[in-house]
Structure 1
Amino acid sequence: MTRPLDSLRPHFYKARPLGAVLLALWATASGAELVNGAQIPDGAQKVGENRYRASRDFEATLDYYKNVYPTSSYPRRSIVNQPGVKAVHISNPSGKNFEGLNIYEANEEVRIYVVPLQGAAKPAKKNEGKPVRKTK
């Protein structure tokens, strides 16, 4: 009678896929910057308010965001797909901190824009220079 190597159980070891996914998420998320609650990939450079230049190409940036924000929970839609320009919008269904992310490629450069909440937009400037004229 033979039995499996050093095991009292007849079942062989099965890898747990959830552990591999969590490890991959941890590896991609480590050291990432948060902007208004949205995660920005490592190596991205700030180029303006809520705007970043990605250090990766367009497809690699989208793959990064597939791991960080799964497509099942964060819907995506193509904004533009013209020669030389690609753009994808990732919606934030929770509506907390940011509305979504725009990832676009133009002029061989990949940019990320964190779309702020509508209520978080800067207030309009008031006309302080002109006096208000009352009518009778």
Structure 2
Amino acid sequence: MTRALDSLKGLSYKARPFGAAVAALWMSVAAAEVVSGAQIPDGAQKVGENRYRAPGDFEKTLEYYKAVYPSGTFTRRSVVNQPGVKAVHIVNPSGKNFEGLNIYEANDEVRIYVVPLQSVPAPAKSTPAKPTKKSDPKGGKKSR
């Protein structure tokens, strides 16, 4: 006697929509380009130094970065929110390779700017001051 749970008759596997979406997002994350340690979405076009045009709209780009850089670890702050312009800054807490990312939408385009590390000039090495010889204010030599 076969129990219903032991038999695969009549059962077919159906992929879960959420699982498929997560798998698709993970695949797109895995194929992304890395610039100065920051991940750039697959399909982004370089438009300048550290500047990229995102392949999707503003919300899709933010969703991508929520998966890549979780908001619990990578703080976000709104930079601009005006009619026609939106911008968010994602802080890199490690401070390695890049300071953060600016994601902004203007003129119906979404751009990503990888904020490079601010190069801190090395402190100038100070040489010890050489003692100066004091001269007689009258201009003459000191007598003993």
TM-score norm. by structure 1 comes to 0.71
Q: Which residue of 2 is the match for residue 128 of structure 1? A: none
Question: Aligned runs of 1:53-68 on 2, under 5 Å?
Answer: 53-68=53-68
Alignment correspondent of 1:34: 34
Residue number in structure 2 paired with 1:11: none
| Conserved 8 A contact 2:25-2:64 | no
Relative distance call for 1:50 and 1:71 in structure 2 (3 A) is same
How far the C-alpha of 1:27 sits from its partner, in A, is: 1.5
- How far the C-alpha of 1:120 sits from its partner, in A, is 7.7
| Equivalent position amino acid for 2:46 in 1 | K
Percent identity over the alignment? 75
Partner AA of 2:6 in structure 1: D
Could you tell me how far 1:4 is from its partner in structure 2?
Answer: 7.1
Between the two proteins, the alignment pairs up a number of residues equal to 108
Larger Rg: 2
Deviations 1:73-131 (A, max 9, x none): 1000000000000000000001111000000000000000000011289xxxxxxxxxx
Match of 2:103 in 1: 103
Structure 1: gaps of 5 or more residues: 8-18, 122-136
Cα offset for 1:55?
Answer: 1.1
Deviation at 1:25, TM superposition (A): 5.6
The 8 Å contact of residues 87 and 102 in structure 1, kept in 2 or not, is answered as yes
Q: 5+ residue gaps in structure 2?
A: 8-18, 122-144
The letter for the 1-side match of 2:102 is N
Kindly provide the CA deviation profile for residues 17-37 of structure 1, in whole angstroms up to 9, marking residues without a partner as x: xx9898466323122100000
Q: What's the counterpart of residue 91 of structure 1? A: 91
**Which 4+ stretches in 1 moved above 6 angstroms?**
19-22
Taking the aligned partners of 2:72 and 2:89, their CA distance within structure 1 comes to: 14
Report what 2:79 is aligned to.
79
Query: What is the aligned-residue RMSD (CA, Å)?
Result: 2.4
Structure 1 CA distance, aligned partners of 2:21 and 2:69? 13
Correspondence 1:103-122 to 2 at 5 A: 103-119=103-119
Aligned residues of 1:76 and 1:88 also touching (Cα < 8 A): yes
TM-score (norm 2): 0.67
Secondary structure, in 3 states, of the residue corresponding to 1:43?
coil
